[in-house]
Amino acid sequence: MKVNEIVRVLDGRLLCGSERSDYTIDVAFASDLMSDVLTLVNDNVLLITGLANLQTIRTAEMSDINCIVFARNKKVSQEMVSLAEESGISLIECRYSVFRTCGLLYQAGVKPVF
């Protein structure tokens, strides 16, 4: 699923990375625990989280994750946007709960990591 389709399905807001909105996601993983995200070995993972801080962006950078959905209406800071832009990571804000976000994406065909 492409990033711009994810934004549409979640009625979300793309904060950065619009130039890469045709980037394709294979699978998604939802977690607020960054240590769990760092154990993933898959490529092209979408991260769904309610944890909005700089370490969320750093974790994505280290894990080669190119797109993050911030669920539960969490707000992304300008500092996070700047760091994400440096690493080419797309950030999406979404007002739905993590459960609803996952449900909508699963229904739309995004696969789980395991």
Partner 1 sequence: MDGALHYEYNVEGGDFSRAGYASSQIKKVLKGMNIDPGVIKRAVVACYEAEVNVVAHAYSGAVYFDVESNLIRIVFKDEGPGIEDIELAMTEGFSTASTAVREMGFGAGMGLSNMKRNADRLNIKSEVERGTTVEIIINI
Contact residues for partner 1, defined by CB under 8 A:
32-39, 51, 53-56, 58-59, 61-64, 79, 87
Q: What angle do CA 103, 20, 4 make, to 5 degrees?
A: 35
The residue (of 77 and 106) whose beta carbon lies closer to partner 1 is 77
Output the smallest distance, CB 111 to partner 1, in A: 20
CB of 11 or CB of 86, closer to partner 1? 86
How many Å apart are CA 103 and CA 36, to the nearest integer? 20
- Comparing CB distances to partner 1, the nearer of 7 and 68 is 68
Between strands 13-16 and 90-93, the pairing is antiparallel
CB of residue 87 to partner 1, shortest distance in Å: 8
Q: SS3 of 30, please?
A: strand
